[in-house]
Amino acid sequence: MTDAAPPIAPPLIALTGIGRVYGTGEAEVQALRDITLSIRAGEFVAIMGPSGSGKSTAMNILGCLDTPTRGSYRFSGVEVGGLSRDQRALLRRHCLGFVFQGYNLLPRMSALENVELPLIYRGIARGERRELAREALTRVGLEGRTHHDPSELSGGQQQRVAIARAIVGRPDVILADEPTGNLDTARSREIMDLMTSLNREAGITILMVTHEPDMAEYAGRVVHFLDGRIARDGSGGADAA
């Protein structure tokens, strides 16, 4: 008698037949057309495509910042379309971390205070959130910059603070929108090395929008959008290496 094969875990993220339409009549725009995409826990996926290809709309839907016109979005097996606005906010707060091209740090707050913000929204007590924020800053190599405000940090350091803020709540997924778009080549590679470490060592699933092929090479999988559809979906540089 042979042992039964272990069951295959369902994808962490599953988009099925997703469409997104803006406007009506002559002003109607089909931003997404029948998108079907599955992402398993622990993947590092780069999303590429020209302006207007639908990649940003897809990321907004994945981040629960927008809702599809049609189709199904399941997160950990839960149909997101069936959640209320408050429930979607809780999903964002507890399961997703966001990293933006422009850092989005509050200028009059220290690095530590910026990283604490998501924990304030969760209602975590001050002492605990301070400790968690310090741990996150240490994880991104900024343990000596906790009391610096953004104006005292380089662009690469500001993005590290933003990444610390994204991981402080220990999310399942980081959604990164052009995380190296404002950085020079050396700083960009530092940030991508950090993202790769978070993916491989901490097991965080990463979805990253980028226009830069050399940054997409860090991902294990690259999904190309074109005219609201997925044009290609294949292995990236990290898997090909």
54 domain residue, yes or no: yes
26 domain residue, yes or no: no
pLDDT at position 241 over 50: no
24 domain residue, yes or no: no
Is residue 153 within 8 A of residue 103, CB to CB? The reply is: no
Average pLDDT rounded to a whole number, residues 65-83: 95
- What pLDDT was estimated at residue 234? 87
214 domain residue, yes or no: yes
87 domain residue, yes or no: yes
- What pLDDT was estimated at residue 9? 72
* Confidence grade of residue 37 (pLDDT, cut at 50, 70, 90): very high
> Which structural domain range is residue 171 located in?
42-68+82-240
Average pLDDT rounded to a whole number, residues 51-68: 94
pLDDT at position 173 over 70: yes
How many domains does the chain fold into? 1
Rounded to two decimals, what is the model's pTM?
0.90
pLDDT tens digit string along 90-145? Answer: 999 999 999 998 999 999 999 999 999 999 988 899 999 999 999 999 999 999 89
pLDDT tens digit string along 145-170? Answer: 999 999 999 999 999 999 999 999 99
15 domain residue, yes or no: no
CATH of residue 156:
3.40.50.300
22 domain residue, yes or no: no
Pick the more confident residue, 139 or 240.
139
101 domain residue, yes or no: yes
Residue % of the chain over a pLDDT of 90: 88
